[in-house]
């Protein structure tokens, strides 16, 4: 089939950014028909009126339809005029939606190409941070302390893991290290800047209740060493000695939700006490 014979079966996707959003929408729509008969051609990063004229002229030769996501007014108006002058079928995917959302929010759109890809970058950074938190959870690999933005340190049941995951969703790479008197503290913990370490502690009575409940949930006797008050005091004293050696800020997480503790850490970052 020649190009002229293919007239009416070609769709030009035009964008002043990458154009993958527009192409996806077009393919989704075309899939409702015999889409093997439709050719889709994408034109990305169209930022010059002369390029618009070339695209429109080519579309006129094929009798192609133009579908576009163009936020820069100058380019959008040039494309609309070029389509109108040549009698081309064209469809603006983005502008009507921008208008509706702007009306709902009472805001004016930024009209900057490619912002969605910046959002995508944020998504991938979040995924990377979550994977980091899983990889370096519970002191699994001390080498991760060098790579971390924030290092959480504390005895068992001070919410190190859920706090690591919460902060990962805020795009911070977080490692955490459990403190146990019988287990040597990783040397890496004293080699990294104290400004990215946060100590977590709990009131002994609260920690006793939490650990007792934990043992019960596991079907273990509540009087195990793990939940005995003398053992808890030993661990907490050990932890505070480590905090003192590091010189890091310490947060008492007693009766605090993970979100509250995270908010304190974010405020410490904002104030310069913690420097990821």
The annotated binding site for ADP is made up of 154-161
Is 208 in a helix, a strand, or coil? helix
Of 40, 39, 43, 60, nearest to 51 by C-alpha is: 43
Q: For the beta carbon of residue 223, count every other beta carbon within 10 angstroms.
A: 10
Pair 255, 202: CB distance under 8 Å: no
What b/e sequence results for 124-139 when a residue is b if at least 16 CB atoms lie within 10 Å of its CB, and e otherwise? eeeeebbebbeebbeb
Which residues are annotated binding-site positions?
Answer: 154-161
CA 29 to chain centre: 29
CA 192 – CA 156 distance, rounded (Å): 22
Cβ atoms of residues 127 and 172 within 8 Å: no
Write the DSSP string, 105-137.
HT------TTHHHHHHHHHHHHHHHHHHHHHTG
């Amino acid at each position: 089939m020649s190009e002229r014979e293919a007239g009416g079966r070609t769709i030009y996707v035009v964008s002043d950014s990458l154009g993958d959003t527009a192409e996806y929408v077009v393919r989704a729509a075309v899939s409702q028909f015999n889409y093997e008969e439709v050719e889709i051609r994408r034109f990305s990063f169209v930022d010059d009126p002369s390029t618009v004229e070339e695209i429109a002229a080519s579309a006129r030769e094929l009798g192609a339809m133009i579908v576009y996501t163009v936020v820069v007014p100058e380019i959008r108006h040039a494309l609309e005029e070029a389509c109108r002058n040549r009698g081309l079928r064209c469809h603006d995917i983005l502008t009507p939606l921008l208008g509706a959302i702007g009306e709902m929010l009472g805001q004016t759109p930024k009209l900057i190409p490619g912002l969605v890809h910046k959002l995508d970058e944020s998504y991938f950074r979040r995924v990377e941070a979550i994977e980091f938190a899983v990889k370096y959870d519970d002191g699994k690999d001390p080498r991760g302390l060098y790579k971390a933005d924030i290092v959480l340190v504390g005895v068992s049941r001070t919410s190190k893991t859920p706090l690591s995951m919460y902060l990962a969703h805020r795009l911070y790479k977080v490692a955490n290290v459990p403190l146990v008197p019988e287990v040597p503290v990783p040397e890496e913990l004293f080699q990294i800047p104290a400004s990215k370490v946060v100590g977590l502690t709990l009131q002994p009575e609260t920690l006793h209740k939490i650990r007792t409940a934990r043992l019960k949930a596991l079907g273990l006797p509540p009087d195990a060493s793990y939940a005995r008050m003398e053992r808890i005091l030993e661990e907490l004293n050990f932890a505070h000695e480590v905090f003192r050696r590091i010189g890091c800020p310490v947060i008492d997480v007693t009766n605090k939700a993970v979100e509250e503790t995270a908010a304190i850490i974010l405020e410490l970052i904002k104030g310069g006490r913690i420097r990821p």
